[in-house]
Each structure stands twice: as C-alpha cells, then as structure tokens.
C-alpha cells in the first residue's frame, strides 16, 4: 500500500568485514494512518504497521 498517509523511516547499517567484503542491513518501519489492515489477500497484515528487514552482501573483485 503506497497510497494514503502515514510515516516511514529507515535505519541503514554497513559493516566492512574485510577490505573487499561489505554487508549492508536495512530496517524499515511503515506506519499508516486511518487503516485497519495493510496489504491485500495473502500479503494482508492486521493493524496499521508494517516492517521489513533487508540484507545485502557485496564482494568487490
């Protein structure tokens, strides 16, 4: 759901494991106003909050 009004925030972190290897983390929190559910059908979440976690690993040659 990207229509409507609400609040969205992210926390990004990056760790350099070794010189050529990085790991990126992102936590996102979405808070929607005036809704009782977020999403539809199998993606539906009861409540007005949705969170996500993403991890990316990058190796540079």
**Can you spell out the DSSP letters for the chain?**
--SS-EEEEEEEEEEEEETTEEEEEEEEEEEESS-SEES-GGG-EESSEEEEEEEEEEE--
| 4-42 pLDDT per residue, tens | 789 999 999 999 999 999 999 999 999 999 888 888 889
Task: Provide the CA 37 distance to its chain's centre, in angstroms.
Answer: 17
Stated pTM of the model: 0.74
User: Please, what sign has the CA dihedral across residues 18, 21, 25, 26?
Assistant: positive
pLDDT top residue among 1 and 9: 9
Which residue ranges make up each domain of the chain?
A: 6-59
């Amino acid at each position: 759901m990207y229509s409507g009004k609400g609040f969205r925030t992210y926390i990004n972190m990056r760790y350099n494991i070794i010189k050529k290897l990085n790991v990126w983390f992102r936590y996102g929190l979405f808070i929607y106003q005036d809704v009782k559910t977020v999403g539809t059908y199998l993606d539906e979440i009861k409540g007005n909050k949705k969170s996500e976690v993403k991890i990316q690993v990058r190796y540079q040659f």
